[in-house]
Amino acid sequence: MTATPPARHPESYVVGVDFGTLSGRAVVVRVRDGEELGSAVHAYPHGVIDRALPGGGAVLPPDWALQHPEDWREVLRTAVPAAVAAAGVDPAAVIGIATDFTACTVLPVRRDGTPLAETGLGVRPHAWPKLWKHHAAQGQADRINHLAHQRSEKWLSRYGGRISAEWQYAKALQVLEEDPTVYAATERWIEAADWIVWQLTGAESRNTCTAGYKGIHQDGHYPGEDYLGALHPGFADFARTRLEHPLSPLGSRAGSLTAEAAAWTGLPEGIAVAAGNVDAHVAAAAAQAVDNGRLLAVMGTSTCHVVNAATLADVPGVCGVVDGGIVEGAFGYEAGQSAVGDIFAWWLGQGVPEEYRAEAEANGEDLHQLLSRKAAGQPVGGHGLVALDWMNGNRSTLVDHHLSGVVVGLTLATRPEDVYRALLEATAFGTRAIVEALERGGVPVHEYVVTGGLKKNALLMQIHADVLRRPVSLAVSSQGPALGSAIHAAVAAGAYPDVRAAASAMGRVDRAVYRPDPARADVYDALYAEYRALHDHFGTGPDKQMHRLRAIRDRALAGRSARTANDSEV
């Protein structure tokens, strides 16, 4: 008798959605092998709100960066159905969806999840979501750190000795001190990574990643009420009343897709929705960088560096270390640079003459390609420049967003490609400072892996290999966070037992694509010494010139804003 062959199970698929700084991207992925079958992007109509509230609203002070929650919902309504259509798969075969977000992007909401920006308080700037690059809370961060050091708060060492102005507490304290009305109306203070899951499931959830790295949740606790009350009496119950909630492990099922969210996305009601996650941390699975010692650099507008280790160590200047913050069973370390691609884009907008633009157009190149080609022909050090990569402050290892950029060595012979290359090199030097801090602190780095949009810049990747004196591996996917989210969706749906197993089957990486050249590396050692001299003078030395310049600027702009407001009232 002939045996009956086993029944063939149809293919199953998952959707990953990556909410970035300027757009949201959805990707449809085959569960069996991680093949990306279709994707779609939705650019946020409101982009980064950094000048005035939408519709001619209030003018924003310096260092503000807000976003519109409706832009995020539109990603679910447009990019997800478009990605499924592009993939050509039956939506009924989709078994799960997961999301990731820039962080710390945080917003005040009502108890039912309604953003205060979408209530009558929307005329007030502090009612709006604060994007990760909102740096106007540096003063609050300074006080948070000073008091924590005074009181020897034990959680402080988990964050390299400093809490960033980008994280939850500084931004919330700024709201309390500058607009108590909005703070009083804030019933929940929530990461956008968790808020978007709330939109999909209909119920609030919180994830271990954002709570640990951005919410100072360590060893099962948030900072105590006595410490928070010492910062401001009205802040004492902040964590208990506005943050406290059971935490969902990464890759776990946060809930099921509601009928409303199913109508938005075109996906089946009731499928698994994974716990929220941060874009950099979720991308580790896509790049097979979940093993200890594999440092992943997610390089885009900014860069986030994440690496797992077997042991807990105190590393000065890191953004945080969280048990299970990237994958269960390891301590996840995070560091980062507040601007990378943004720096290169700034130079293209400021320092490129018209003849360069005409040459790029004639050659069918964009300006990045043109300047990279011109800069690649230079010998290392041939431009005579060294720069500091602090145009948007320093995230790691100085954790100071009142610092600013520097280019030293300019002459009348300096060309646009010279400055461009110096800026590329500055970001690599900033990365080297982070890698050295990790290794000094007892966190080994065995491999350097890159994902994100900037991995396509061959010159930048080779510079990183030479500066770091180690090979650079590249994630295969061009959309690492979205693929990483899809991998977590597969785990939440029960297709794999854990994230490590799913990453092994669905993630992809090309090893050692760029290798260091010893001769170039020798010259870069000399340039890096000059970078460190500048770094230490402006960043850690007693002369706080950058802080003084920032204060002069802020006073001048505050005076202009006051004059503008008075003129409008006349």
Mind listing the pLDDT tens digit for each residue in 379-400? Answer: 999 999 999 999 999 999 999 9
Task: Please report the pLDDT score of residue 182 as a whole number.
Answer: 98
Which SS3 state, helix, strand or coil, does residue 207 take? strand
pLDDT recorded at residue 528: 98
Range list of H helices, 441-470: 458-468
174: helix, strand or coil:
helix
Q: How far is Cα 274 from Cα 484, in angstroms, rounded to an integer?
A: 12
Taking Cα atoms as reference points, which of 377, 283, 392 lies closest to residue 327?
A: 283
Helix ranges (DSSP H) in 88-158: 138-151
pLDDT for 559:
72
In the prediction, which pLDDT does 203 show? 98
Q: What is the pLDDT of residue 160?
A: 92
Residue 298 phi, psi dihedral angles, 5° rounding: -95, 105
Give the pLDDT confidence score for residue 563 in this predicted structure.
Answer: 54
Instruction: Check: CB of residue 407 under 8 Å from CB of residue 419.
Output: yes
Distance (Å, whole) CA 33 – CA 31:
6
Residue 67 has a pLDDT of: 98
pLDDT lower than 70: segments of the chain: 1-9, 560-570
Quick check: 27 and 98 in contact, CB under 8 A? no
Check: CB of residue 341 under 8 Å from CB of residue 390. Answer: no
* Beta-sheet pairing, 106-109 with 188-191: antiparallel
The pLDDT, as a whole number, for residue 453 is 92
In sequence order, the β-bridge partners of residue 468 are: none
Under 8 Å between Cβ of 101 and 191:
yes
- pLDDT per residue as tens digits for the range 446-498: 999 999 999 999 999 999 999 999 999 999 999 999 999 999 999 999 999 99
pLDDT (0 to 100) of residue 38:
98
Place of tokens 């145009």: 391
According to the model, what pLDDT value does residue 3 have?
A: 41
Of 103, 241, 108, which is closest to residue 178 (Cα–Cα)? 108
Three-point CA angle 322, 325, 329, nearest 5°: 90
Dihedrals phi, psi of 170, to nearest 5 degrees: -60, -40
Question: And the tokens for 531?
Answer: 């970078």
Residue among 274, 260, 278 nearest 215 (CA): 278
Residue 116: DSSP 8-state:
G
What residues contact 366, with CB distance under 8 A and at least 6 apart?
A: 360
